[in-house]
Amino acid sequence: MTDEYYMNEALKLAKKGEGRTSPNPMVGAVIVKNGQIVGEGFHEKAGEPHAEINALKAAGEAAKDATIYVTLEPCAHFGRTGPCADALINAKIERAVVAMTDPNPKVAGKGVKKLQAAGIEVTLGILEEEAKKLNEAFFKWITTAIPFVNLKTAMTLDGKIATKTGESKWITGEESRLKGHQLRNAVDGIIVGINTVATDNPSLTSRIAGGKNPIRIILDSNGQISLKSKVLTDNEAKTIIAVSENAESENIKNIKNAGAEVIVCGKDRVDIEELLKILGEREITSILVEGGGEVLYSFIEKNLFDRLYAFVAPKILGGKSSRLAVAGAGFDSLDDAALLTNIEVSRLGEDILIVGDRQG
């Protein structure tokens, strides 16, 4: 088998930690000796042993003189756990195949150098692009202190997310809704506006068997959320209410008494750029923004998103007063329009999913 084969196996293992390792990256490791896999592991949850440690434990004595394939450079510093580079050296690993160096300033090549100084042969860059894609949210956060922002909308062919009477369940089909829950399961936090809470009273949970719920973040400039809202009463996940300086102190007090955290940012309206910085400081590395239309436009207008997921159902609603997927003031010129790149299109039942990255 080739290095690429075993690294691909390590990447598959790493993916198993999706949604649970933050603020750490997803990492997988495979130990091979005499053409046989003798140990494997992945980072299962933040604060628990790293992938290399789990793989070494599985391999036992067979790790001596073996090759380890790891999707990210082994750490060389003490964090919540000890240095993985030291563990590999102590296990007398002969060769380490590493997909990419860790952009974390605490690592950034130190792990590779430590291995090499101990006489371990290091091969770097095997399936590097795949490894970058796997942990793109972590890499953005660790280098900018800002979460990776995903936008998500589910709309009809004519760009509507609800009828003129407000009916929105369900625009898209079951397969699309399942994918939406998978997206929630993979991120640290989910953002919606107060109008979505007032109209739909959503739980904003992932509803994935064995999954986890993201932190719920509600943009509510005046702090007027109903204290009977599910996000304040169901105890399914932590809830943060982002308010502006205009919010009355009594409203803030009531929200806190309901068990939610309050973040004040922005004078008249919630300043989403400032909010993202605050969330990044709290080790929230990835966000899913689900709307509504005004909220999505606020992120698009200010180029504060990284990826867009557009679920499109084969339905046409029409109507000037039907709710738009993206609302707001709109751009004056086509030259100002937000552009997407790296477009991927797939079918989900009768629906179409379009995924694109922000260009520029």
What one-character DSSP code corresponds to residue 118? T
How far is Cα 266 from Cα 256, in angstroms, rounded to an integer? 19
* HSE-CB of 201 using CA atoms within 13 angstroms: 8
Question: Using an 8 Å Cβ cutoff, are 30 and 18 in contact?
Answer: no
Does residue 52 carry a catalytic annotation? yes
How far is Cα 39 from Cα 12, in angstroms, rounded to an integer? 14
Torsion angle (degrees, nearest 10) of CA 9, 10, 11, 13: 90
Q: Give strand pairing partners of 154.
A: 311
Residue tagged active-site, from 9, 40, 48, 52: 52
Q: Which amino acid is at 52?
A: E
Contacts of 68 (CB under 8 A, 6+ apart): 29, 30, 31, 32, 52, 55, 88, 93, 95, 96, 97
Q: How many beta carbons lie within 10 A of that of residue 250, not counting itself?
A: 9
DSSP string, 284-334: --EEEEEE-HHHHHHHHHTT--SEEEEEEES-----TTSEESS-SS--SSG
Structure tokens at 336: 């100002």
How far is Cα 339 from Cα 66, in angstroms, rounded to an integer? 47
List the strands of the sheet with 239-243, edge to edge: 261-264, 239-243, 215-219, 189-193, 286-291, 148-156, 307-313, 351-358, 340-348
Helix (H, G, I), strand (E, B) or coil at 224: coil
Residues annotated as catalytic are: 52
